[in-house]
Structure 1
Amino acid sequence: MSVAPHFAPRPLDHCAEFGADGDPALVLRSGTLSFRELRERLGRLSAWLRHRAPAPGARVASWAAKGELTCLLPLAAARAGSVHVPVNPLLKRAQVAHILADSGASLLIATGSRLDTLAQGDVPHDCAVWEEAAAIGEAMSAPEGLGPSMADPDELAAILYTSGSTGRPKGVMLSHANMWLGAVSVADYLGLEREDVTLAVLPLSFDYGQNQLLSTWRAGGCVVPLDYLFPRDVAKACARHGVTTLAAVPPLWVQLTELDWPPEAAAPLRRLTNSGGALTEDLVRRLRGQFPQARLFPMYGLTEAFRSTYLDPSLVDSHPTSMGKAIPFAEILVINDAGDLAADGEEGELVHCGPLVAQGYWRDAERTAERFRPAPPMSLYGGMAVWSGDRVRRDAGGLLYFAGRRDAMIKSAGNRISPQEIEDAALATGLVAEAVAFGVADARLGQAVHLVVRAHAAASDAAVLLPKALMQELPNFMQPQVIHWRDAMPLNPNGKLDRTALAQEYGA
């Protein structure tokens, strides 16, 4: 497919209009929905939402595991003229209460077990509460549903709450156009087709996870949502459903490459996609060795600008640490500290421009002004841009490389140290499977470098060998003062390494 004829953005719910009536669209525990059935049920759920939350732009929150409700709501809310607020099912009542209050939700649909955990005052007094099964049951009993919407693509379609390094989660405002063009873009560069089957293992409250649905349906393919308990559940599902497309974040890829994959699970895979953190060279080699027939797509993005870059699979072996180039509909600029375009090899801030840039943070003008600022004058798109805070370099061939985050830099003995560089060095030894570095206050150094690691399953004497290896690879001022060994690393609700929790645990 080509993105050129589809540049004009459409209402988000149109993503469901491209599959053939009889083709499978969604595999649920209760059975498989064809695209015709998907569209019928989408229409009924949209009509029910219009009845239960009639005000234009009403915020509709969902707090449930993957299933029919959470898969249909992104499109149904958009069709009904509502704004979807997906709540990560792993969050606890305090975070949920904040999201409900902050978003001004007028309707919450959740599983009964999750509703039972809420205390008095957690749900705003003007927010109606529905148990998931009851909502689906009533919605599907409607005699007819709403047809495809004619919404203005610039209207708000969703608020995705994302956690930062400090403070409470903030709601990123996404329009129909943001999400529609994101689906078109990803379906295009991944080469998704009608025959593809996507295993949706990532949280649907996560923009990367939600795009699994939207891009696959935009291409007319089938989605298999999976809430897994163990990594082996992913491999089993791949075998059972003939999965062709698998998206994950680095901690999950590490676990998946430690499994023995049967041929019936690995062979159908055509493409693997990664975001939410960089792949290490070692992990790239393991993925390429374990799934040689699959195209590997390393990607980079942030919720405020959806997806930004991807590395062409043909370049993965020769440039395994590159972030690649801009995805369709994204303009990526590298701006140096003087405010000019950075030269080849010069470090600068990655700035996102174009129609994938979100509309800002919900009801938070101060934090919006910090991150969303006018695009640099050399931008082809102009308008508002997302100033990411990420430091990158662009080589002479146009490929981008991550250097670190400005606000994550460790300042030790007058030196500015990138945690990424220390982590990369630790992982490159082959002794550890996961690593997180940060600075801890130190009276002599300002900040001392601390490194938290999980040993590689095949490594012996790692605790003895790692400090020696790092002494060979890193200058003295970058050496960890303390190395913390763990049997397991904490993950945040999106499945990424929980750097904030580790930093707080060790006093950073």
Structure 2
Amino acid sequence: MTTQTLVAADTGTDTVHGLLAAAVAARPDAPAVRDASGVWTYAELDAWSRAYADWLTAQGVGHADRILVRVGNTREFTALMFGALRRGIAFVPVNPAMKRFHLNTVVPDCDPVLVIGQNAEDTAILRELTDRPVFELDEVRRGAEALYDAAPAALDEAPVAPDDLGLLIYTSGSTSAPKAVVSTHAPIVFAARAIQARLNYREDDVVLVAVPVSFDYGLYQILLSVIAGAQVLLTSPDRHVRLLGTLHEHRVTVVPLVPSLGEMLLTLARRDRREAPPVRLFTNTGAALTGPVIAQLREAFPYAQVSPMFGTTECKRITVLEPDGDIARPGSVGRALDGTEVLILDDDGRLLPPGTVGEICVRGPHIMTGYWQAPEQTVLRFRPDPVTGEVTLHTGDYGHLDTDGHLYFEGRRDDLFKRKGVRMGTLEIETAALDIKGVTAAAALAPAEGHDLTLYAVTELTADEVLAQLTERLEAAKVPAVCHLLDELPLTPNGKTDKQRLRREQK
């Protein structure tokens, strides 16, 4: 840890904390963030972020240090994040649902100078993984409370620069080993503004964040809401069974969804006889909502539009489809963000024409810096042009563009395959399965050594009935060899189907 106790100054809006400063100047008394225990205005969020920053400074944490924070969807998360970033401290959010198996890698990899856990059980585990100070959130909260009304420290340290490290966001790749995306302030701010320009969150919006804030989809909802001057409503997985009531009680208008959350909302809505809540916009990324699920959302929430998106932590967002744009362009995940470019390249790096499937590659100011302490993986994904030096992000995802620049996602390399001479992807098979009445969730696994194309389905139908109905929707080569029935699909902590676990259980 550094021993300095000086504080970094707020500098403009090319830094993440600069976004908060602008919101405080514009709407100081408007509600900014709410959780189960209360609400803060923008002025209060700013004051609490300074108090948490002062607490971090008092612990000897300084510019360019890293802190690991594992506290879940709480107001304290937002104050800790803005507090760290305003001092030039890198913020490493970790999901409380992350198991020790992955923590064993993550904690030593980011080498934090200080760690914060949400409860005693968490801190006990974390103390076994690091010799750095580990604090329970309640202890940190009490320390910040003591500093909340104190005069702020002198702002005389060098300012935070746009290219300073802001976030290390851990993401799992195909190997299941977590790796951290190095996110400096400038691309974070550019991405947040570009997404907001497409989605147009409003100052009177209430934005539900039920996905983990450690997941970049959840974390960026905070930034989008701050840019708009909207209110963030944080809720945690243990409250999801009351999600529909939450939408009614707080008059929620924007709901970011992953498929598991969308399916839960639909289940709750079918049991509810009240008028639909005033949701005006559903967004989706992380894992795609299928056409049938989108249609059911529109039926259950008649005031809402749906905006499919596509992204990856390495550049935050790649494309955003205008609300209800899928009606005219089924399956599209939208156009590239303004000021960015999406390319479809073949395996030799050559540009492919519209309609041809290839690797989705991206250029623009939203490209992050690379992977933390992983130069080989960085070189593989973040490839500078030999002439211009401009970085092209090779996502490892595959899709095609139409003639108007709208992207259609096909899947990752492992999800695309040939079977019986026919090219196909697991997403197509899953979409067809979810079109069957009574199938509420589905996951397809591509053929692998010792296993043919396999479908996992959540339904009261028999496996034979599911396969029979798939023959009515898919050509013979695309019908799975076997269907396994499950009570529920296994999920990752971020709400995606855990196909790696299904694959392990298949062996």
Normalising by structure 2, report the TM-score.
0.90
1:312 shift after superposition: 1.0
Matched-pair contact (CA < 8 Å) for 1:50–1:81 = no
* Corresponding position: 1:43 with 2:50: yes
* Corresponding position: 1:134 with 2:139: yes
1:338 shift after superposition: 4.8
Aligned match of 2:303: 293
Alignment of 1:12-411 (within 5 A): 12-17=16-21, 18-19=23-24, 20-115=27-122, 117-118=124-125, 121-123=128-130, 125=131, 127-142=132-147, 143-145=150-152, 150-229=159-238, 231-260=240-269, 266-374=276-384, 383-410=390-417
Paired letter, 1:210 = L
Paired-residue identity, %: 31
- Aligned mates of 2:359, 2:126 — CA distance in 1: 43
Paired letter, 1:273 = T
Q: 3-state DSSP class of the match of 1:448? A: coil
State the number of aligned residues. Answer: 488
Normalising by structure 1, report the TM-score.
0.90
1:375 shift after superposition: 5.0
1:32-86 per-position Cα deviation (integer Å, ceiling 9, x unaligned):
2111111111112112222324342111011112223212222111111111011
- Aligned mates of 2:307, 2:284 — CA distance in 1: 6
Q: 3-state DSSP class of the match of 2:217? A: helix
1:292-325 per-position Cα deviation (integer Å, ceiling 9, x unaligned):
2112111110111101111111422222311111
* Corresponding position: 1:473 with 2:477: no
1:409 shift after superposition: 3.0
Q: 3-state DSSP class of the match of 2:218? A: helix
1:403-454 per-position Cα deviation (integer Å, ceiling 9, x unaligned):
22223334545665422222222223334222211135456xxx51111111
Matched-pair contact (CA < 8 Å) for 1:60–1:106 = yes
1:184 shift after superposition: 1.5
Matched-pair contact (CA < 8 Å) for 1:238–1:266 = no
- Aligned mates of 2:213, 2:267 — CA distance in 1: 25
Q: 3-state DSSP class of the match of 2:453? A: strand
Aligned match of 2:483: 483
Query: Which residue of 14, 38, 44 corresponds with 1:10?
Result: 14
Aligned match of 1:439: 446
Paired letter, 1:213 = I
1:113 shift after superposition: 2.9
Structure 1 unmatched ranges of 5 or more: 1-7
- Aligned mates of 2:123, 2:91 — CA distance in 1: 22
- Aligned mates of 1:28, 1:422 — CA distance in 2: 39
CA distance 1:212–1:114, shift in 2 (3 Å): farther
Aligned match of 1:3: none
The Cα RMSD (Å) is 2.4
1:382 shift after superposition: 6.0
- Aligned mates of 2:355, 2:443 — CA distance in 1: 26
1:352 shift after superposition: 1.3
CA distance 1:117–1:264, shift in 2 (3 Å): farther
Paired letter, 1:302 = T
1:118-151 per-position Cα deviation (integer Å, ceiling 9, x unaligned):
176412x2x1111111112112312133669931
1:198-227 per-position Cα deviation (integer Å, ceiling 9, x unaligned):
111111111111011111011111111101
Structure 2 unmatched ranges of 5 or more: 1-11
Matched-pair contact (CA < 8 Å) for 1:392–1:401 = yes
- Aligned mates of 1:74, 1:120 — CA distance in 2: 22
Q: 3-state DSSP class of the match of 1:307? A: coil
Moved over 6 A (4+): none
